[in-house]
Amino acid sequence: MALWKINQSIICLLLFIIGCAPSWQGKVVYLENNNLVIKPENDVKIKNGQKLMISRQKTITHPVTKEELGMIKDNIAEAIVTKVNNKTVVASVSDPWFDMMMVDDNAEAIKGLEKRSEGSVIEVGKIKSIDEDNKTAEIFFIRDNPIFSGEILTVIKYANIIIDPESSEIIAISVEPIANISQKSDGKFYYELIDKILGWVEYDDIVVKRTGDMIKKASWFQDPPENLSEDILFKRNYLRTIRDINKGMYKEALIELEIISKINPNYENIDYLTGLCYARLNRYDDAVKYFIKHLNNNENDAKSWTELAYIYLRQSNFPDAIKAYEKLSKLIPDNPHIWVDMGDIYRQLGNIQKAKESYLKALEIDPINEQAEYELK
């Protein structure tokens, strides 16, 4: 009997210790497509497959007086941990009430563990150059070529930055695969786009090796790289914009510029490039608006003044054209073509003296300028 009482005491003590053991807790900081990014609130370890209860504190009020009677915990749904990062935990929810969840909801580990096979994403290099016609790419590997013949690599892009709403610290980043890439018998790396309409491989894109469950993922959340800034989200779009403009694909370039401007409307040259695209599409009023917007912050940008000057000439808007040319004559005074154009505009405005002075200035810079000589005669 005494032995039974001792054993019973030991069992009770163990149950007490287990009951007092700290449980994992966290706070929801981001929601997307039935996935939760959760910031841990303590140092308790958690594993893939662990079940979580998502809940929030709910205020109870008197139905008549509306007096606050207290707070209760309102359980919303269960989630299962799919990935444990350094700063965050990612969990998935298959609950129909996912739309009711909100940032700042609480997450708490509960009994139950689903066994899940693990996988990884390992960065192996970056895209060095691409050949869009042949769908090949050169890769700068971080180490010696780390792949085996026939092994599939993945080109990825950063899609969104996850910020802690309390500290404003970047704690995670969402990642999307762009293309699968493999080395063929000729030694070249060939890529196949995952989205053939919207996707493209870009210089400096990251190349990773995926294993296990991660091979099947269409997107995922991971730790942010060092020195991360929002620029990384639209750097690819900016490079694509420049390439589209160089190819004369101005409508396509405008789509990329719109994406960039939504993230950072003040990014360098965005207004100028938008104005340039509209100008090449003969949408002059839109072009003027963006060139002027760009000049508000870049008053001495000669290329914008040049575009404005030519647009005003096409519109026969000589008063605004001469203002643009007068500005250009101060920014690039040694360009004879500026002075010849100014002479032509002054002549259109009936200011013969100013026209003559402009043609003479052109000849001073370029003594054999035939157009200036002809106009003076």
Residue 58 pLDDT? 73
Backbone angles phi, psi at 307, to 5 degrees: -60, -45
Q: Which residues pair with 181 in a beta bridge?
A: 153, 191
Task: Delineate the domains of the chain, giving CATH numbers in brackets.
Answer: 18-113 (2.40.10.410), 120-228 (no CATH), 232-376 (1.25.40.10)
Residue 66 pLDDT? 67
Residue 68 pLDDT? 67
pTM of the model: 0.74
d(CA 270, CA 140): 30
Using DSSP, state whether 233 is helix, strand or coil: helix
Residue 229 pLDDT? 81
Average pLDDT for runs of 10 along the chain of length 377: 51 46 86 92 91 84 67 83 92 81 91 77 92 93 69 92 90 94 90 89 92 89 87 89 94 95 88 97 97 95 95 94 95 93 92 92 88 84
- Return the axis-axis angle of helices 270-280 and 250-263, rounded to nearest 10°: 160
Residue 71 pLDDT? 63
Residue 26 near residue 110, CB atoms below 8 Å: no
Largest CA distance in the chain: 129
Residue 148 pLDDT? 63
Residue 231 pLDDT? 84
Q: How many CA atoms lie within 13 A of 258 on its CB side?
A: 8
Residue 13 pLDDT? 47
Neighbours of 138 (CB within 10 A): 14
| The two three-digit tokens of residue 256, written as one number | 């990329």
